[in-house]
Each structure stands twice: as structure tokens, then as C-alpha cells.
Amino acid sequence: MAQYYQARGIENADPDDIYLGNGVSELITMVLQALLGPGDEVLIPAPDYPLWTGATKLCGGTPVHYICDEENRWWPDPEEIEAKVTENTKALVLINPNNPTGAVYPRHILEKLVDIARRHHLMLLADEIYENITFDDVEMVNAASLSDDVVTITFSGLSKTWRVAGFRSGWIYVSGPKQRAASYLEGLELLMNMRMCANVPAQHALQAALGGYQSIGELIAPGGRLYEQRTTAHRLLNEIPGVDAHRADGALYLFLAWMQRCTPSKMMRPSSSSCCVPRRFWSRTGARSTGRTPSTSGWWRCPVSRTWRRPLRGSLTSSATIARERSRASEAACAQAPGRGQAASAVLLQLLTDLLEALLGAGEPPLAPVRQGFAALPQRQ
């Protein structure tokens, strides 16, 4: 495994720097458990592989999401990332190639991100399990090859490139000035030892997988199954009205943007059954009063509240953005309600309302019985 990284241009890779695990998912949790305490922050891309956000919270930390912009090929903005660094920030997560957007970060972006970690003394957590799944000769650069002076943990495994997800075989490679992280690595080794060991049968597959014939090359080339699936899915999805998908440069995913625009004539009819996108995809600001026609294009009408709103940049809101909006809405409801029970009812009602809007699409959600039911609940419930 050390030789695998040496062949990728990381000459200092050593067997003692490799830690085995039962898949990358287990290792993500272990790495964060050893790193985080209450109040510590981790910079995580949005959209992201949800385990990074969940494991950060589980370990007592706070996930801070930086946006990967669809209009910029789903690449992150280094300036935005640096603006979110605080004295509590402990690590910067890179998912490259990215799950779920399919983006592959170019060298100049990675160099800027590594420089941010360098100047702010952050640990770099590079999730690179899709590193060998790239299309159209897109260059995949390992973060560790650019970060000799930054403590970097690279995550990879057999489940994607070698298509044996059920084997649960993954590893991390620790690089950079490890002496700066001696106490951290001691804690990480303690957690590893408490787990006893990674599963042994899967370890027998490592040498054959990394040292044998690399069949992934045939799958990602034109005519290969993964290449053709990516190309066909991209073409068919973009033929659907209102759906837009950026062509993935790597990984196994296409991340969709969905915006069904209403025509002005439909937007002006108060009783129109033509529904706009669910409210969770809207901006929370800029609502216009009921009954008014937007003076500019790009506004949307809520089928329940009858208000006009502007969409979020014409693309699908990330799960991280939705979560942040949910959190702000919940906090506002709790602050305004006279009792904790009423606050909880208000939050649940809003969540149920949004869910019904999404499920029923263009129809008018039957919310009156729901509202009556919540109003009848005892405050304690």
C-alpha cells in the first residue's frame, strides 16, 4: 500500500504511516473521534458525503459547510473557505473526486486549499476513495503530493475502484510533519487497538487489488461501462424539462439541479394548480405580498402562502443549506413561542407543511386539518 502511493508521486510513503480499517466509513469516525472536542469545528464541503457531517456532530464537533458552486463546475471557493476559518477550526475536509457532485478539483484549486491549511495550522482530511475513477483524461491530484508540510490524512479503500464495497476494506495514509501531531496519532492508535483489528479476510485482497491488473482503466475509457453510464445518464437527465445536471468528471454520481419555472400567466392566477418548486428550495428573503405580479423575472409563487419569492441562484439547494435554514427556522420559532411545547408544535407543523408541499407537487396540500390537529394538542405534547 505504501508502494501504491509512492507510484502516485508521494515518495515518502512508508508502511508505518498506513492504518487499516473496516472501510473508510469506520475510519472517518475514528479520525474525528481522536481529533475533536466540544466546540471544535471542521470545514466540510456542501453538498457532501453525509457521514462527514454526521460523524463530526457525533464526535462533539461542529460542521461548518463551505459551498461547492454548480456554476463553477462544483468547485469550492478558497476565499469563502478561508473566511470561515476560526480559532476553533481543526480540520479541512476535501472530497476529491467529489461525492455527490462528481467534480474533480484541479491542481490550482488544491494548491490554494493546502495553503489555507498550512497558514491556519489545520489538519487536511482528504477523502480520495474515487481517485481512480475519472473521465475524459481529467487529472486527479492527490492532496498528499502537495502538502509535505501539512499534516494530511488520506482516505481510500477497495470499495469503489475495485468494486468490492461489501468487503469493508479501507485505509488511511498519514503524511506531512507527523511530529506535530504526535499526541493525536497516539490517541488514534489507541482507538485502533480498542477495535482489535480490521477484518482479516479482506486484507488478503489488498495485495492482489493494488498490485494486480487495474481493470478500472477499461471501465472509465470511452466504451467502458462506467463511462457510458455516465454519458447516457447525463444526456437523458438533461432532456427532462426543468432538470439540469453538470457532466461529472469523476466518481459515480450526477448531482441534479431542479427548477420548474412557472410562466407569468400561471403565476398571476391565484387559483392556479401549477405549483412551483417546494419551498425548501427557495430563498428565505425577498417575499412579495400576495396578489402582486413580480415586476422582474425569476420570482416564484408559493401554492400555500401565496407569496412571491426568488429562487436560490437557479439551482438545487444543498442539503447543508437546507439544514442551516431548518435550524434558523427552529430557533426563531422557539424564541417567539410563549412555551416550549408550542414552539415544538410550530416547528413540527412547518416541517410537515414542507413535506406535504414536496409530496403533493402541483396540488393544494390539505393543510387545514393538520393545522387544527396541531392547535388541539396539549402544550406539553
Q: How confident is the model at residue 347 (pLDDT cuts 50, 70, 90)?
A: low
The single-letter DSSP state of residue 166 is G
The number of angstroms, rounded, from the C-alpha of 368 to the middle of its chain's C-alpha atoms is 36
**243 has which bridge partners?**
258
Residues in CB range of 36: below 8 A, 6 or more apart: 42, 56, 59, 60, 61, 90
pLDDT for position 275? 36
pLDDT for position 379? 54
Q: Which residue has the cell 393538520?
A: 370
Taking 80 as the threshold, does the pLDDT of residue 217 lie above it? yes
Contact 47, 75 (CB under 8 A): no
Residues in CB range of 274: below 8 A, 6 or more apart: 262, 266, 362
Q: What is the pLDDT of residues 281-304, one digit of tens each?
A: 333 333 333 333 333 334 444 443
Residue in 165, 174, 252 with CA at minimum distance from that of residue 205? 165
Q: What is the pLDDT of residues 72-112, one digit of tens each?
A: 899 999 999 999 999 999 999 999 999 999 999 999 999 99
- Written as one string, the DSSP assignment of 149-170 is TS-EEEEEESTTTT--GGG--E
pLDDT for position 345? 62
- 131 burial via Cβ count (<10 Å: 0-12, 13-18, 19+): buried
pLDDT for position 106? 96
Domains of the chain: 2-211 (3.40.640.10), 264-376 (no CATH)
Q: What is the pLDDT of residues 221-252, one digit of tens each?
A: 999 999 999 999 999 988 888 788 889 999 99
* Per-residue cell: 253: 454520481
The single-letter DSSP state of residue 311 is B
CA distance 157 to 141: 17
Taking 50 as the threshold, does the pLDDT of residue 261 lie above it? no
Taking 80 as the threshold, does the pLDDT of residue 27 lie above it? yes
